[in-house]
Structure 1
Amino acid sequence: MKAIWNGFFSYSLVGLANTLIHWQIFFVLRVAFGLDQSTSNFIAFCVAASFSFYANALYTFEAKLSVPGYVLFLCVMGALSFIVGHLGDRWHLHGLLTVAAFSLLSLVLGFLFSRFVVFRGHRP
């Protein structure tokens, strides 16, 4: 079980920077531009994920960057970000709760998806 979580610390540090980027963009889009939570969360995720994909490929998984891996990561995790944002809109959740819930889900599910699908075979 311990081997599954190899690289999680490094992934979490990159995730912290990713979260700061994501939350700032989310709230600018939500408050300044009046976009709904699903659109704000998706756009913010795409920008932040571009940074974290690059950083995790280099520092966490020591893997070469690949366009198919990037697109796969963006599609799967982007869908999750949109769904969480949609639920936030539907249930009239505060934006802070929406991005916090997505950040927690993204940390765990994103790490497992990256480790076993996107960067499989690379050292964490």
Structure 2
Amino acid sequence: MAAASLAGKPRKVIPKILAVIHADGCTGCEACVEVCPVECIYKVPGEEHSSLQTWCDIDLDRCIGCKHCAQVCPWDAIDMVDTLDAAQHVALKGGPPEYVEKHWEDLVDAAQRNAEGLLAKKKK
């Protein structure tokens, strides 16, 4: 299935691993954006944020854990982490503290929702 046909479709399964970008190591080159088959990676700060640093971020509710982004990152700024540990990684490395705090629901809560969904699936 082509990447364009996967973009925007809801994810059917919560992956066991998720991609987490370390904002301090990311230059915003967008190599990861180009290879993401579900288009869940976007550039920050974007138009609504003012910052000298730019980096990319990941919509964890759409990430499928395919590893393509981590494989192409020229700066090794993307880690594939266990879904159960993703919230902690995002809280620590997902961007400047003010960005993480302002976008807590989109970043850390999304990672936590994924972990809870994966745990619920394991209990079944």
TM superposition score normalised by structure 1: 0.30
TM-score, normalising length from structure 2?
Answer: 0.30
Higher strand residue share: 2
